[in-house]
Structure 1
């Protein structure tokens, strides 16, 4: 008698068992792949969202500090593996309405893509015939600032330019003072003060500014808008109490910024109280008539026109 069942050598049953085994393996692999995909996708989304939020806070701090009355008004993220890119808009609170002034992009994450930009064009006055100011994407001039403790060969004065402007418009003007002012010394009578330029510069930076002003043509020796740090305030009547809250937020933004220069500024400013802060200038908004009165103030050393919008 045969000790083995005939079923043991049944070819059909063997093939069926093999197919069943292969099917189980395929289903198992698919299930594991789905689980792994879901887990990795959740992990990637979580990690990307974390770094996206971190990058947003860093860049928003940078914009708020270095763009008078500016902020990031919109971001659109494009996420990849453990990172991505964010397209963002910079807007300004321009007295009567917000205005988009630039559209830019930054990367974020552990595997952030490398961004390449190309620029074609030049600054006005590149040969020293006029001030070498630049323009924002929306066509506004970048404002200039002049540190009162630096001796410049020439100072920007846009009073005549504003007088020639036609129509009912609102103008943005950067005013540089003749000397640093403490908040209680500041002439609060100036209308429409919206942004305060704070002295965050080290002695080394001031020496560098003075050296540049001495050795270079006047057309390029000024402090650009993005190198002037300050804080905004959006109230018709300003008190020391109002300034205190905005100054505290200013100190919170400095170490958050993507810029190492801003973090260095924080190290200088972190122990300085509001009453000891030195204000070097302001940004004001106003009509031509309002600005003509403001620019007569003898405490103003320089004026630089920025944006212009219709008054409606």
Structure 2
């Protein structure tokens, strides 16, 4: 082959050059590297996101648990938080818990509840237990209400309000079997201090809870004079319109605040008012679901808005437990204006 032929062979087109192959390989490698990088970034981001989600929801769940445990120290007569579980999902979680109460020395299930929590404000609170009631009963303010496991909610009557009718469930004790234990709320004729209440309750009766006076004068007035306009008012001349006073408002156990006389293990507290005072005093400064409740209670109960003392606490009623024989000792006591049965179960 002469020199001219060699030169033609050199420049002859025989398909893709090595340079083109290198370019294609480089592009393919770049695509593969991009896919792998994206997968790695997604994996790492997902892992970090899951860790953040789990950690944040765990903190929110524990905060919710502590908030509820503190709130139960001043509310929900004779009711305590028992077994519980936090179920965390994506963005939201649920705190499921069972409540229980003591009837004498017997513990019974009080209800099943759930509270939702989330770090995304628009999602928080979209699901969960709303009222805690079995159903929304229609009727007047004196109708019976039941919680979500069918327990009758106890009623409370403020001593400074005049009611046309008082519930007297102590009168029906003779209809209850000897093999039963029960709880019953007692509404007093006037406010008392804790030491007086302890002396007033017979020794055979278990004192579980004190109802604390947390009402201002205007609130008491509102309880006693609930005004409603009569129907078809627009058809009646102005000078002949009347107003109808409905029955004075009765309070239910999920609407009152007070002091637990026994702890979560059914042991008597030596200074029951201490937990009540400490919970309110610390709660008013801690941001949370019930901060405004604590602020309001502190304002009502404290001396000169400085601190709450034992002397600030007045007792309007109690919740007691026992069997038929022991609770019968409360009949015809002059300091009891009303009585309302709650849970009733077998002794054994």
TM-score range, shorter chain: 0.7 to 0.9
Cα offset, 1:40, TM superposition: 1.3
Distance 1:120 1:66, change over 3 A: closer
Partner of 2:239: none
Cα offset, 1:267, TM superposition: 2.5
Query: TM-score when scaled to structure 1?
Result: 0.84
Partner of 1:272: 308
1 CA distance for matches of 2:157 and 2:36? 72
2 CA distance for matches of 1:103 and 1:35? 39
Partner of 2:247: 217
Task: Indicate which of 178, 193, 198 corresponds to 2:189.
Answer: 178
Partner of 1:247: 276
2 CA distance for matches of 1:175 and 1:59? 26
SS at match of 2:65: helix
Q: Do 1:176 and 1:303's aligned partners in 2 also have CA atoms closer than 8 Å?
A: yes
Q: Do 1:184 and 1:275's aligned partners in 2 also have CA atoms closer than 8 Å?
A: no
Cα offset, 1:138, TM superposition: 2.5
SS at match of 2:126: coil
Partner of 1:43: 52
2 CA distance for matches of 1:233 and 1:11? 88
Distance 1:183 1:160, change over 3 A: closer
The aligned length equals 303
CA distances 1:236-282 after superposition (whole Å, capped 9, x unpaired): 9978x523433334435764773444541232224231133101111
Task: Indicate which of 160, 175, 199 corresponds to 2:171.
Answer: 160
Q: Do 1:140 and 1:306's aligned partners in 2 also have CA atoms closer than 8 Å?
A: yes
Cα offset, 1:107, TM superposition: 1.7
CA RMSD in angstroms, aligned pairs only? 3.2
Cα offset, 1:120, TM superposition: 8.2
Task: Indicate which of 147, 154, 159 corresponds to 1:136.
Answer: 147
Q: Do 1:83 and 1:107's aligned partners in 2 also have CA atoms closer than 8 Å?
A: yes
Matches within 5 A, 1:16-165: 16-111=25-120, 112=124, 114-115=126-127, 123=137, 126=139, 131-165=142-176
Cα offset, 1:60, TM superposition: 3.3
Partner of 1:282: 318
Q: Who wins on radius of gyration, i.e. which is larger?
A: 2
2 CA distance for matches of 1:230 and 1:63? 10
Q: Which structure 2 residue ranges, 5 or more long, are not aligned?
A: 1-6, 11-15, 228-243
Query: TM-score when scaled to structure 2?
Result: 0.76
Partner of 2:260: 232
Task: Indicate which of 18, 21, 24 corresponds to 1:9.
Answer: 18
Q: Which structure 1 residue ranges, 5 or more long, are not aligned?
A: none
CA distances 1:1-35 after superposition (whole Å, capped 9, x unpaired): 99xxxx97354444433333322222222221111
1 CA distance for matches of 2:213 and 2:118? 33
SS at match of 1:247: helix
